[in-house]
């Protein structure tokens, strides 16, 4: 695997791969890679693509400067993982390469509605930072297909709308969440948990599953979510949100909807964890 740090070198390698007839598959990341990221790389390789990964801890998407400062930076370990997974090219730019005129001078991509609410409400400006950096990365890499983890369900929805609205010529593939044996969704932020918190962490997924059971049973959504919030707090978390949304447009769901996603975010010790669970009901007459 080749590692490059500049847009110029990145473009040279991508151009050569395309000239040799390869499709370009792209996996954008912020590093500190785990098996979830590697499953995205694998999907790109399985699709026969020349596979490009990026590692860039994007300051524009962190509304909390302490969160940015402590975000794990593990480039040598990440390079080793990507290389043994079969990734072809790693783009690891620094902040000046990505924002040469400074972050305040950067034009911003804003995706309306779907960026609001959920994580967008708890982390103001977060999705503008994501949309902007992903647009830049897409323009730098020019991929045919880009792979994103389904764990960040709202992020995938924001990127899909951005790609459609701005007529970006690539395909977006969402890859199912990788989980530990106890159900905890793999995340770089799990590394913030101590042993005791790690034991409790599965409580978020457990709670999402209980909400799914309530939904299937036709229990009133408000009552289900407020009881679930109490249970999640009782499991050692401080709930940020628990919501049931329609899969198609992320608008609030009703019991008449057949395809919904249950989304949750909650603080556990120093970590803010997010997760989601899709529920599809095949109701008679549908």
Positions in the binding site for ligand PAF (CB under 6 A):
28-30, 58, 61, 130, 133-134, 152, 155
* Residue 5 is a catalytic residue: no
CB of 22 to ligand PAF, least distance (A): 22
| Closer Cβ to ligand PAF, 28 or 120, answer by number | 28
Alpha helices in 20-143 (DSSP H): 35-46, 65-70, 75-85, 95-98, 119-122, 126-141
CB of 271 to ligand PAF, least distance (A): 15
Burial of 234 (0-12, 13-18, 19+ CB in 10 A): exposed
CB of 78 to ligand PAF, least distance (A): 12
Cβ pair 24, 139 in contact under 8 A: no
| Closer Cβ to ligand PAF, 59 or 236, answer by number | 59
**Angle of helix 203-216 versus helix 221-234 axis, rounded to 10:** 160
CA distance 176 to 185: 10
CB of 16 to ligand PAF, least distance (A): 24
| Closer Cβ to ligand PAF, 42 or 58, answer by number | 58
| Closer Cβ to ligand PAF, 42 or 61, answer by number | 61
Active-site position among 13, 34, 37, 110 = 37
Phi, psi of 249 (to 5 degrees): -130, 5
* Angle (nearest 5°) at CA 159 between 154 and 164: 130
Annotated catalytic residues are 37
């Amino acid at each position: 695997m080749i590692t490059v740090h500049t847009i110029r070198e990145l473009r040279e390698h991508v151009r050569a791969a395309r000239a040799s007839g390869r499709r370009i598959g792209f996996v954008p990341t912020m590093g500190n890679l785990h098996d979830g990221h590697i499953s995205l790389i694998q999907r790109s390789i399985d699709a026969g693509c020349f596979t490009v990964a990026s590692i860039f801890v994007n300051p524009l998407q962190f509304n909390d400067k302490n969160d940015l400062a402590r975000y794990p930076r593990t480039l040598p370990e990440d390079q080793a993982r990507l290389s043994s997974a079969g990734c072809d090219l790693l783009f690891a730019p620094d902040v000046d390469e990505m924002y040469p005129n400074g972050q305040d001078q950067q034009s911003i991509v804003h995706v309306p509605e779907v960026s609001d609410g959920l994580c967008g409400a708890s982390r103001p400006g977060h999705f503008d930072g994501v949309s902007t950096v992903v647009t830049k990365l897409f323009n730098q890499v020019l991929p045919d297909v880009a792979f994103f983890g389904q764990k960040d369900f709202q992020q995938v929805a924001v990127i899909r709308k951005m790609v459609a609205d701005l007529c970006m010529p690539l395909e977006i593939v969402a890859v199912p969440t990788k989980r530990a044996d106890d159900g905890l969704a793999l995340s770089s932020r799990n590394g913030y948990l101590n042993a005791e918190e790690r034991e409790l962490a599965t409580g978020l997924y457990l709670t999402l599953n209980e909400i799914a059971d309530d939904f299937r049973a036709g229990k009133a959504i408000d009552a289900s979510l407020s009881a679930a919030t109490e249970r999640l707090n009782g499991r050692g978390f401080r709930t940020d949100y628990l919501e049931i949304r329609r899969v198609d447009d992320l608008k609030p769901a009703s019991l008449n909807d057949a395809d919904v996603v249950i989304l949750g975010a909650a603080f556990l010790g120093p970590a803010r964890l997010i997760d989601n669970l899709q529920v599809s009901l095949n109701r008679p007459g549908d």
